[in-house]
Amino acid sequence: MTVLSLAQQAAQARTNSVPCRTYDADLWFAEDQASTDQAQGLCQQCPLQAACLSEALLRQEPAGVWGGELFERGQIVAAHKPKGRPRKDADEIAAVAAARLASRLVEVSQALEQDSPELAEQLSEAVTEIVGAA
């Protein structure tokens, strides 16, 4: 057995033990907010959270919880959209969510800098693009 295959086995074991592989995966793609909140909470315990979120952002995931954030059509959203008319305070809620997201992305980018400087750089560019477009 080579050092590389041992390292690959260790990486695979780490990946197989993350919450979305040990709990029911449907939780990460649920449409109700309670299940989504539960998935987001489980992601907070995941050792791969920063990389998972960063890669999901770069892939513009169409749906699901990735890295502790809820994605819809490639964007991070604060919560599932309720059915029916939009709320009167929707703009205020969106502004709070955007500020939270920007702060979170900076944290993730900083967390990635040591382990994956290239990914951190890509994320930093994506953050600049998102903040610039807002």
- Share in percent of the chain as helix, strand, coil (round to 5): 65, 10, 25
d(Cα 104, Cα 101) in Å, to the nearest integer? 5
> Interface with ligand SF4 includes 46 (CB under 6 A)?
yes
The nearest distance, CB 89 to ligand SF4, in angstroms, is 29
Among 27, 30, 36, 52, binds ligand SF4 (CB under 6 A): 52
18 is an interface residue for ligand SF4 by CB under 6 A: yes
Task: Tell me the two tokens of residue 124.
Answer: 């930093």
Asked if residues 68 and 40 have their Cβ atoms less than 8 Å apart, the reply is: yes
| Residue 84 C-beta: closest distance to ligand SF4, Å | 29
Tokens of 70: 């809820």
Given 27, 43, 101, 120, the residue binding ligand SF4 (CB under 6 A): 43
Query: How many chain residues are in contact with ligand SF4, going by CB under 6 A?
Result: 14
